[in-house]
Amino acid sequence: MSTTTSNSELIRRFEDKSATIGIVGLGYVGLPLVLRYAEVGYKVIGFDIDPDKVRTLTSGESYIRHISSERLADAKRSGFLATTDFSKASEVDALILCVPTPLDHHREPDLSFVVDTVDSLVPYLRADQVISLESTTYPGTTEEELLPRIESRGFKVGKDYFLVYSPEREDPGNVKFTTNTIPKVCGGHTQACLEVGLALYGQVIDRLVPVTSTQAAEMTKLLENIHRAVNIGLVNEMKIVADRMGIDIHEVIRAAATKPFGFVPYYPGPGLGGHCIPIDPFYLTWKAREYGVATRFIELAGEVNSSMPDYVVSKVTDALNRQRKSVNGSSILILGIAYKKNVDDMRESPSVILMEKLQALGADISYNDPYVRVFPKLRGHAHFDLSSVELSGESLKGYDCVLLATDHDEYDYSLILKNAQLIVDTRGRYLEPASNVVKS
> In the CATH hierarchy, which top-level class contains the domain 229-439?
alpha beta
Indicate if 276 belongs to the active site. yes
Q: Which residues contact 96 (CB under 8 A, 6 or more apart)?
A: 21, 22, 23, 24, 30, 33, 131, 132, 134, 200
Segments in the chain below pLDDT 50: 1
pLDDT of residue 107: 85
pLDDT of residue 3: 65
CA distance 15 to 10: 9
Residue 402 has a CB neighbour count (10 Å cut-off) of 26
Amino acid of residue 201: Y
What pLDDT sits at residue 5? Answer: 64
Domain 8-212 has CATH 1.10.630.10: no
Q: Is the pTM of this model over 0.85?
A: yes
The H-assigned helical ranges of 140-213 are 141, 147-151, 191-202
CA–CA distance, 158 with 147 (Å, rounded to integer): 11
User: What amino acid occupies position 54?
Assistant: V
Q: Where in the sequence of the chain do the CATH 3.40.50.720 domains occur?
A: 8-212, 229-439
Q: Residue 406 and residue 354: Cα distance in Å, rounded?
A: 12
Query: Of 98, 186, 193, 276, which residue is the catalytic one?
Result: 276
The residue count of the chain comes to 440
User: What pLDDT, on the 0 to 100 scale, is given for residue 4?
Assistant: 66
**CA–CA separation, 381 and 35 (whole Å):** 31
Which three-class secondary structure state does DSSP give residue 82?
strand
The pLDDT of residue 2: 56
